Structure 1
């Protein structure tokens, strides 16, 4: 473990006598310290209006093909929480992956993605040394997850795969030697693909949500393919179900509804349906409708069931970024991560009420919108409201939308009718903490020039968009609830040395491709994380790019500097910080991923041995997704 030095180190202690811990106040502060989640934009701008995003404290790191996490000389990295590490007082993973499902339920899941740090309150202020960390576990590589991989496939292996999905809630504390997971912890828990969840919002009790196992349509087992995330103003965690389609086996003749969401008879190779019949749509045709939602988890209430908030629409959710409108209504920005899909936002009907205990219901009533980016740099938010008429049709019973439940369940089809702009894989969305400008990553799309596909438009200008881009917009009146906005392209990613002018991009400073993760720190720096696939990394147009990376950008100037590079074939994704900015938590997903996506169980370290090759305390035997801690060696804030 590397040595960490901190100046003005904060003493960690419980609330003193006479100052009882207030869980609700703790939640408000936990949320409000990041991205303006609990403050109206005008009030927030007054508090951080001088945030310039200047990069004067950051130097550039070179590209890398090493099997390591690399940061600059002024910084230190530490391994915190890897796949197979105990959540609380459970067993630690075996190096040969011989753990069973019961053990996996007590361990970190696979493929860490979005996350957030929720600080405890100590002496009346949010702690930067003690908190809860919520971490998504997106999917599994069953070639690595099991001893023997997918050979001798069984109900036990399905149960372990399901246990490796979902979310971890862990308690973390900074000690003299660095950050540690607190074990045992009464706060810690795992949410998996078998955890009972409530359904709320317009789809609650809807006929399309009912199954043989739940004939009322109000409960569902599990959450899966948990990708990016959001944080509510009341201090809860929003985890987002993305590529849920690949877990379900459709009938040989898949319906139009299934096809619109990419559900087919082939599946994505998880093979859960062979031993868990709810993933066989011939037997349970509505089960797939119960996934593809934003799921709310209260980290401060381990006994409370997660809630699927259906008013936010059903699609391949990449994230759910929260802010407040000028009048206090809650606004949630979301991307649908697939080629030619859409950008959405939800605006609550009612206002956020500080101090109230039922703010979660704000996400059940409101208006869901989808974005149209016009070629003149203007844009409109198109309401997906039952009964609404558009040139392409109407969201009425005649078009198959009998009520708002149908609209949210068949959200993609509703957005098609509205005439929204088909985007190049909308992923993470971030809101500037001072001025409210909104940024979205469009990871890539090489199919716009393909016959029968949508052609280019101003917001998606490249027919062969190998490198992706970032679009930025400003809501009219700087009000997040506005129905109109102006937009521009913040950056076209690419290689400035490319012989192909279409692929050179417009990035000022260090180049990158396939932007994915996106996050603002409290000083107005825009952090960008990349997700180039293992089959593309360091090949062809990406030959000079190196491994996936994390960069920091100045939104005012567009200048970008490389801050971190990841190990071989990983994705860099998920970022959060302590309130004082002295600690960054960053996730490394699927190091050593095979270009064929599932590892050869006989050669688990064929591409990477990380993190055991870098951190002596790591369990070896195979590469492991993990959360790393980044600090400055001089103890100053990492965020400048």
Structure 2
């Protein structure tokens, strides 16, 4: 019998410490989107098919196995652990790729995996990856040392092929943000030192590191000091490209050309390109900038006072009052070439400026790139960019340079969704509308088009530069649909359908905020949901689409949950979906952030097609205070980024809330984990 665990923590399931360092307490600030966009049609949180609706009144259970905890550390002294409440193992049945025993909800300070699976830590924060980098010493950390070591709070992960090096791959990781209170002993948040700030700058950004796999398992280990290993930090040089590059809106006293910027901040999820690069979304960049009084900055959540980290004390570019345009140079999609250690990463202005959660790519039939990206904010939008230039195949510098320019020319769109149920039937309670369906249609509204000849705005009253720099305001003007924190967006390589992850929005329907609509099914939505889009004629460049609710998260016992019509007594409970990825069989794997059901966050696989469509099974959970990020699903291994372990209210270096991954007496460290089948077989088969 499944037993939900008591809910602890902060709004949305996160701890207050997470909100403080990750997004600058965004949930406590005024909702940035105060536009009055109209909504056409509404749907209730439930998206339950007719057959599932009849089951909803019944009491259901989830039969799942208690996962084997492959523990890298014991629990902190005196800390209680909630043991998995499942007693009867589930046979490893399911869709191909999902044939493993479901892990039970739990609060163990460990990585918990299915029976028959093991894991290893691939790389931790601070491990040296560049030549000359010293061993990690948390008591004597310097910026120079950190710049040669693996960064902090790993998020998005990509594993790329490494031709000519058998058994090796190239791992690329985002480092979203820093938890100074968990990094520095005796940290004084009111008076950080220059050394602490400079270490934090160096701990942000990206890492590229070669990894090597064992032949008889999916175990991966980092290869230090490989020529392709690389660190990019908050002070590395970046190039602004595309239609807004050189705009007066992007010029600063340090860069009067408006084309060169130092650093990348708060890189959350990302994507890989068919031409062999990686994309990285700058998300909660607003929290690093102080002292703004502008309306345009308020729309992006830029504060009027000091920042949490106080970086503005050490570099004036983080003080909007002194450098008003510096903040305009963040909030883009970064393109990184991991195969060229000397390349300068690019920030693509043609993809718009907002809190990019991710950037995922598919190609049109004639070889043009289409990039999907969500703006991770309550009541903000999701976008699509359709390139106008075709990808070239082959090798050589000319081909490489051409492909690196593909995301600089094309049209940027924002989504507007329409429902097919009368508004009177939508009350936010979870009641099924009269037509028994939760779906509708949508359109991609053009915002601006960039070409070699120049850029053209499609938004009245805004220039092209303004659209690309103040993209949120452009979405407001054209009446885009306000969503419940659009995060990762993934097109399926098997069906072409596009999956849009909405993590949660507890402000939905509260006070004067927008109420439930068809695409955002619940008022006070604390568990989130997943939309499934079908582009017209299944063509990536189409300007219209159909949509339906694929998954409405929460306790399966609750009638306002939905699992694509699959029987709810055979699914795992899930809350707050975030990053997603596809496995080789077409299943969607979902990581969570801020579980509101009382369990630790985890990773789940769900079938998207066939007779088992909607079957969702938990694959792992992460340690105390941690978030599951960056899943990579291969035939013989699963990679996850265990982000911010121990990020619990009241925790510090002196008083850790987690002892993962290295045990008591050692500092808590974010890390990348590889999970594999102990018998050397394929995952989930």
Report the TM-score when normalising by structure 2: 0.78
2:584 paired residue number: 522
Q: Is 1:367 the counterpart of 2:411 in the alignment?
A: yes
Q: Is 1:438 the counterpart of 2:498 in the alignment?
A: yes
2:574 paired residue number: 512
**Match among 553, 562, 567 for residue 493 of structure 1:** 553
1:325 paired residue number: 364
Q: Compute the displacement of 1:73 (Å).
A: 1.9
1:26 paired residue number: none
Q: Compute the displacement of 1:622 (Å).
A: 2.1
1:592 paired residue number: 646
DSSP 3-state at the match of 1:624: coil
Q: Cα–Cα, structure 1 residues 411 and 353, in superposed 2: closer, same or farther, change >3 Å?
A: same
Q: Compute the displacement of 1:385 (Å).
A: 1.8
- Alpha-carbon separation, structure 1, partners of 2:320 and 2:626: 33
1:88–1:182 CA contact under 8 A, matched in 2: no
**Match among 322, 326, 340 for residue 301 of structure 1:** 340
Q: Is 1:531 the counterpart of 2:593 in the alignment?
A: yes
1:444–1:514 CA contact under 8 A, matched in 2: yes
2:482 paired residue number: 422
- Bigger shift: residues 628-637 or 163-172: 628-637
1:198 paired residue number: 239
Q: Is 1:94 the counterpart of 2:150 in the alignment?
A: no
1:547–1:569 CA contact under 8 A, matched in 2: yes
- Alpha-carbon separation, structure 2, partners of 1:224 and 1:117: 22
**Match among 142, 162, 170 for residue 132 of structure 1:** 170
**Match among 441, 447, 460 for residue 384 of structure 1:** 447
Q: Compute the displacement of 1:542 (Å).
A: 2.2
DSSP 3-state at the match of 2:480: coil
2:239–2:259 CA contact under 8 A, matched in 1: yes
- Alpha-carbon separation, structure 1, partners of 2:294 and 2:646: 36
Could you report, residue by residue, the CA deviation over 1:329-354 in whole angstroms, capped at 9, with x for unpaired residues? 10001000010011101000111121
DSSP 3-state at the match of 2:182: helix
Q: Compute the displacement of 1:571 (Å).
A: 0.3
- Alpha-carbon separation, structure 2, partners of 1:549 and 1:147: 29
DSSP 3-state at the match of 1:171: strand
- Alpha-carbon separation, structure 1, partners of 2:259 and 2:251: 8
1:558 paired residue number: 614
- Alpha-carbon separation, structure 1, partners of 2:220 and 2:521: 44
1:602 paired residue number: 654
**Match among 671, 678, 683 for residue 626 of structure 1:** 671
Q: Compute the displacement of 1:92 (Å).
A: 2.2
1:582 paired residue number: 636
Could you report, residue by residue, the CA deviation over 1:576-597 in whole angstroms, capped at 9, with x for unpaired residues? 245xx2122211000110237x
1:244 paired residue number: 285
Q: Compute the displacement of 1:316 (Å).
A: 0.3
Could you report, residue by residue, the CA deviation over 1:477-508 in whole angstroms, capped at 9, with x for unpaired residues? 1111100000000011011345xx55788784
Q: Compute the displacement of 1:54 (Å).
A: 3.7
Q: How does 1:27-42 map to 2 (within 5 A)?
A: none
Could you report, residue by residue, the CA deviation over 1:226-273 in whole angstroms, capped at 9, with x for unpaired residues? 10011111000111100000000023xx11101000001235502100
1:211 paired residue number: 252
Q: Compute the displacement of 1:59 (Å).
A: 2.1
- Alpha-carbon separation, structure 1, partners of 2:299 and 2:379: 12
Gaps of 5+ in 2: 1-93, 421-439, 451-456
Q: Is 1:288 the counterpart of 2:327 in the alignment?
A: yes
Q: Is 1:68 the counterpart of 2:110 in the alignment?
A: yes
- Alpha-carbon separation, structure 1, partners of 2:112 and 2:282: 30
- Alpha-carbon separation, structure 2, partners of 1:142 and 1:259: 26
Q: Compute the displacement of 1:55 (Å).
A: 5.3
Could you report, residue by residue, the CA deviation over 1:447-476 in whole angstroms, capped at 9, with x for unpaired residues? 111222112110002111110000111101
- Alpha-carbon separation, structure 1, partners of 2:225 and 2:449: 49
1:61–1:563 CA contact under 8 A, matched in 2: yes
- Alpha-carbon separation, structure 1, partners of 2:246 and 2:392: 27
Report the TM-score when normalising by structure 1: 0.83
Q: Compute the displacement of 1:285 (Å).
A: 0.3
**Match among 119, 135, 149 for residue 107 of structure 1:** 149
DSSP 3-state at the match of 2:472: helix
1:17 paired residue number: none
Q: Compute the displacement of 1:61 (Å).
A: 1.2
- Alpha-carbon separation, structure 2, partners of 1:53 and 1:425: 29
Q: Compute the displacement of 1:57 (Å).
A: 2.0
- Bigger shift: residues 373-382 or 150-159: 150-159
- Alpha-carbon separation, structure 2, partners of 1:218 and 1:53: 49
Q: Compute the displacement of 1:298 (Å).
A: 0.3
- Alpha-carbon separation, structure 2, partners of 1:81 and 1:294: 25
Could you report, residue by residue, the CA deviation over 1:503-526 in whole angstroms, capped at 9, with x for unpaired residues? 788784001100001111121111
1:279 paired residue number: 318
Q: Cα–Cα, structure 1 residues 380 and 147, in superposed 2: closer, same or farther, change >3 Å?
A: same
DSSP 3-state at the match of 1:122: coil
Q: Cα–Cα, structure 1 residues 420 and 204, in superposed 2: closer, same or farther, change >3 Å?
A: same
Q: Is 1:451 the counterpart of 2:451 in the alignment?
A: no
Q: Is 1:612 the counterpart of 2:662 in the alignment?
A: yes
**Match among 340, 351, 356 for residue 312 of structure 1:** 351
- Alpha-carbon separation, structure 1, partners of 2:129 and 2:557: 46
1:9 paired residue number: none
- Alpha-carbon separation, structure 1, partners of 2:653 and 2:623: 20
Q: How does 1:214-225 map to 2 (within 5 A)?
A: 214-225=255-266
- Alpha-carbon separation, structure 1, partners of 2:243 and 2:486: 24
1:313–1:409 CA contact under 8 A, matched in 2: yes
Using CA pairs under 8 Å that are at least 6 residues apart, name the structure with larger relative contact order, 1 or 2. Answer: 2
- Alpha-carbon separation, structure 2, partners of 1:575 and 1:159: 29
- Alpha-carbon separation, structure 1, partners of 2:170 and 2:96: 30
Could you report, residue by residue, the CA deviation over 1:45-76 in whole angstroms, capped at 9, with x for unpaired residues? xxxxxxx9545622211111100001112211
- Alpha-carbon separation, structure 2, partners of 1:205 and 1:360: 18
1:465–1:503 CA contact under 8 A, matched in 2: no
1:154–1:275 CA contact under 8 A, matched in 2: no
1:168–1:191 CA contact under 8 A, matched in 2: yes
DSSP 3-state at the match of 2:674: strand
